[in-house]
Amino acid sequence: MYRIATERLLLREWKVTDSEDLYEYAKSELVGPNAGWKPHKNEEESKEIIEMFINGNDVYAIELKSEKKVIGGIGLHDRKPDEALSHLKQKEIGYVLNPGYWGKGYIPEAVNSLLRHGFEELDLDVIWCGHYDFNNNSKRVNEKCGFTYKFERKVKLDRLDGREVTCLYYSVSNSDYMKAR
């Protein structure tokens, strides 16, 4: 996993010592349910999730350089939302952010750095980003970052008591990304 630095952020591997920062926002009703999981019950649960991130090696901690604090997480996952395009080299971005840091442009900054990494270093053909139909903040991020709406599908959220929601999928192709640069 690469470390990716932006003007204000460092995208890096998770450390078990990040559990206090993760728990600070993962316990919020504003975070987990918007991302498809229940709020964390305690810091021990956050430590277990960090160990899962470390083992999975596809989720970065978003560290705010000025505070040396983890304010969110962002992943570049092996997912193929559209089976018709399964032959393409692709990943899906997913993210969460501590609500205390919303509205400051941190997630678009992180997403744009992963788009650059995905297209320029991993040579991906397409990058996806989805959100649930009730998550307007993520919809705005997708639009700001140049993703184009493709389709929606009903999904069952196993980590949210099997709740059924509508997920809207957006993508950016390598060629569209390069043209926009």
Structural domain of 113: 4-180
Bridge partners, 32 (sequence order): none
Overall domain count for the chain: 1
CB atoms within 10 A of CB 88: 14
Give pLDDT tens digits for 14-40.
Answer: 999 999 999 999 999 999 988 889 999
Q: Residue 158: what pLDDT?
A: 86
CB atoms within 10 A of CB 2: 12
Give pLDDT tens digits for 101-127.
Answer: 999 999 999 999 999 999 999 999 999
Q: Residue 71: what pLDDT?
A: 98
Pick from 63, 75, 70, 61: which is nearest to 24 by CA?
Answer: 70
pTM of the predicted model, to two decimals? 0.94
- What residue type is 22 in one-letter code? L
CB atoms within 10 A of CB 138: 22
- Give 151's Cβ-side CA count (13 Å radius): 7
CATH number at residue 107: 3.40.630.30
DSSP H helices, the chain, are 19-26, 32-35, 43-56, 106-116, 136-144, 174-180
10-residue mean pLDDT series, the chain (181 residues): 92 97 96 92 96 94 98 96 96 97 97 97 97 94 96 90 93 95 82
